[in-house]
Amino acid sequence: MFRRRTDLPLDRDALSRFLPWLIAFMVYLAAMAQAGMLGLDSMSQRWSKDIGTSLTVQVPPVSGLDKAAKEKSIRRLQDTLNLLSETKGIIRSSVIPESRVLQLLEPWLGAGIAGDVPLPVLIDVETNPANKPDIRVLKQKLSAAVPGIVVDDHGVWLARLVQLIRTMEGFAALVLVLILASAAATIVFTTRTGLAVHREAIEVLHFTGAHDSYIADQFAWRAMALGFKGGIIGLGLALPTLLALGLVAGRIEQGLLPEISLGGVGWISLLVLPFASALLAWWTARATVMRNLAGML
Amino acid sequence: MNFDPTIPIARFENVGLRYGLGPEVLQDVKLELQPGSYHFLVGPSGAGKSSLLKLLYLAHRPSRGLVHLFGMDVATTPRDELPALRRSIGVVFQDYRLLDHLSTFDNVALPLRVARVKEDEVQRHVVELLAWVGLENHMHARPPTLSGGQKQRASIARAVIARPRLLLADEPTGNVDDRMGFRLMHLIEELNKLGTTIVVATHNEKIVERLGHPVIGINDGRINVTPGSGPTY
Ligand SMILES: Nc1ncnc2c1ncn2[C@@H]1O[C@H](COP(=O)(O)OP(=O)(O)OP(=O)(O)O)[C@@H](O)[C@H]1O
Ligand SMILES: [Mg+2]
């Protein structure tokens, strides 16, 4: 792909034989860090969207299983719903069906409890993010009407979770930057070694009237080819790993977490990695040679 | 660069050269090479012939004094203008300095490729010149497989392929028999007739006498120019 005539025997350097593998390793790590970053980002975005836009109101059951108790429960629920619909800033409130509540409780209480235990009624409330109701006032009003009612706005723990995810995201970005820096350092080192090994030939090129850029280009193209090769190998190893991780994560999270996904843009940004490593190698090698030669006569 | 025929190709004023902290190997060199001139450079081994040539092909800066090439002071010439100067100078190195991993053909083609000459022209010129120096059957051989004389001819071919304005040759006939020696000197003579300025460092007194060009003698780092006597046949 990058075959070019060169005047320097760069492809015979021992270093250039293992450079692609070093790059492959770094691209692999970079792909992991990047995927982690993107996955966490989509997660935190979805969750932070939910902060302050949803509430869960829990109407406690009236004890007893007789008809009077049941009627009282229904009245309480009705009062609550009325109050909610009168409150400004609430877009929608819907009762979570009993079957769903049972499903959610099943892991704790076991199957087959329907009808045996008085269950609280859960109401899912969606608020207008542009015009949020005052949660404290709402709580007071609801408590006055229905003693023991619980209003949960998820705010605190969601905010903490999002904060945690953001921190991890920042950490992944830092790791990515460190990987790039060490890849660049590796290329600087290999290029410098190459310059020392080929000093004699470079001198001859200079004496025959070669510009520094003529020499730098030979190093840069070579580094680019190796960087691309390494990038392809690294990505080739990273993709199966990520798919496998995705499968495992999918099995664990079921219903508990919103699905962690990279999305189309995320996958494409991973495919960019080999090109990025090729470009990084090209630029770094070129800059290293130009700098180094500037000191010669 | 200056093509004015009244400006010397090279001008040295009070030039001194030392390697590192060592003694001066060249002292108070005052020298002018006029366009189209031809000088022999002679002197005992270690006298400083190669060192003087190094100043001329910009491998070293003088430790003191002024060196002007093609009317430009090399001390103040910006780095990105040096390649243009160097392309006007062809050098035959005493130790050839061929690149071992390239074929004879690619070695000789180097100055043209560096100057980004079109590949079909490169082919034409290089094949022609290799035939002239008798290397047409060794075009694809690598230098380590060539004899000393063959390497010398390849290095002369590389020095003249781009038609330099100044040709510097350090012992260009040191490794060939007299017949090939005169043949190569004849090539250089032809280039001189076309206007190329020439400096040839040599120990071969026969050639110096026969061609009768002016002689720059070096002794103990000091030079002394004697005018030419004209050719004797
Ligand atoms: N790179 C160098 N570093 C230190 N000293 C050097 C270097 N090159 C040459 N010299 C010294 O400079 C002096 C002149 O050397 P130079 O090579 O110019 O001689 P020369 O006239 O070309 O000799 P020869 O006929 O043997 O080729 C010598 O004393 C040599 O030891
Ligand atoms: Mg010498």
A3 falls within a domain: no
A247 falls within a domain: yes
SS3 B206: helix
- Name the domain count of chain A: 2
A103 falls within a domain: yes
Question: Which pair of tokens denotes residue A56?
Answer: 């869960």
Rounded to whole angstroms, how far apart are CA atoms A91 and A132? 10
Count of all residues that appear for chain A in the document: 297
Which residues on chain B are in Cβ contact (under 8 Å) with A217?
none
A19 falls within a domain: yes
Query: Based on the domain organization, do A208 and A276 belong to the same domain?
Result: yes
Query: Based on the domain organization, do A25 and A109 belong to the same domain?
Result: no
Query: Based on the domain organization, do A289 and A207 belong to the same domain?
Result: yes
Query: Based on the domain organization, do A144 and A163 belong to the same domain?
Result: no
A170 is in which domain, residue-wise? 10-49+159-296
Using the predicted structure, report yes or no on whether residue A255 has a pLDDT greater than 50. no
Rounded to whole angstroms, how far apart are CA atoms A125 and A94? 7
Edge-first strand listing for the sheet containing A150-152: A90-95, A121-127, A54-59, A150-152
Count of all residues that appear for chain B in the document: 233
Rounded to whole angstroms, how far apart are CA atoms B228 and B26? 23
Rounded (10°) CA dihedral A224, A227, A228, A232: 180
For residue B27, which phi and psi values (nearest 5 degrees)? -130, 135
Closest CA to A90 of A46, A47, A56: A56
Structural contact between residues A145 and A101, judged by C-beta atoms closer than 8 angstroms? no
ipTM for the complex shown: 0.90
Q: pLDDT tens across B136-175, in order?
A: 999 999 999 998 889 999 999 999 999 999 999 999 888 7
A154 falls within a domain: no
Rounded to whole angstroms, how far apart are CA atoms A166 and A181? 23
Q: pLDDT tens across A131-155, in order?
A: 777 778 888 888 888 888 888 777 7
Query: Based on the domain organization, do A165 and A271 belong to the same domain?
Result: yes
So what's the pLDDT on residue A246?
77
* Binding site membership of B44 for ligand 1 (Cβ less than 6 Å): no
Query: Based on the domain organization, do A166 and A276 belong to the same domain?
Result: yes
Average pLDDT, chain B: 91
Query: Based on the domain organization, do A141 and A43 belong to the same domain?
Result: no
Are A294 and B87 within 8 A, CB to CB?
A: no
Q: Catalogue all structural domains in chain B, each as residue range(s) with its CATH number.
A: 1-88+165-233 (3.40.50.300), 98-163 (no CATH)
Q: Regarding beta strands B215-219 and B222-226, do their DSSP bridges make them parallel or antiparallel, or are they unpaired?
A: antiparallel
A94 falls within a domain: yes
Query: Based on the domain organization, do A117 and A178 belong to the same domain?
Result: no
Are B87 and A214 within 8 A, CB to CB?
A: no
Rounded to whole angstroms, how far apart are CA atoms B165 and B185? 17
Query: Based on the domain organization, do A164 and A131 belong to the same domain?
Result: no
Q: pLDDT tens across B80-110, in order?
A: 899 999 999 999 998 899 999 999 999 999 9
Place of tokens 């009627």: A71
Query: Based on the domain organization, do A181 and A284 belong to the same domain?
Result: yes
Query: Based on the domain organization, do A130 and A231 belong to the same domain?
Result: no
Q: Which of A148, A181, A209 is the last residue of a domain?
A: A148
* Binding site membership of B63 for ligand 1 (Cβ less than 6 Å): no
Query: Based on the domain organization, do A33 and A131 belong to the same domain?
Result: no
Q: Which atom of ligand 1 is nearest to the CA of B171?
A: 27
**Better-scored residue on pLDDT, A206 or A6:** A206
Are A207 and B57 within 8 A, CB to CB?
A: yes
Q: pLDDT tens across A265-282, in order?
A: 778 888 999 999 999 999
Using the predicted structure, report yes or no on whether residue A2 has a pLDDT greater than 60. no
Taking CA–CA distances from A213, the nearest residue in chain B reads B80
Q: A126 pairs with which residues across the strands?
A: A54, A92
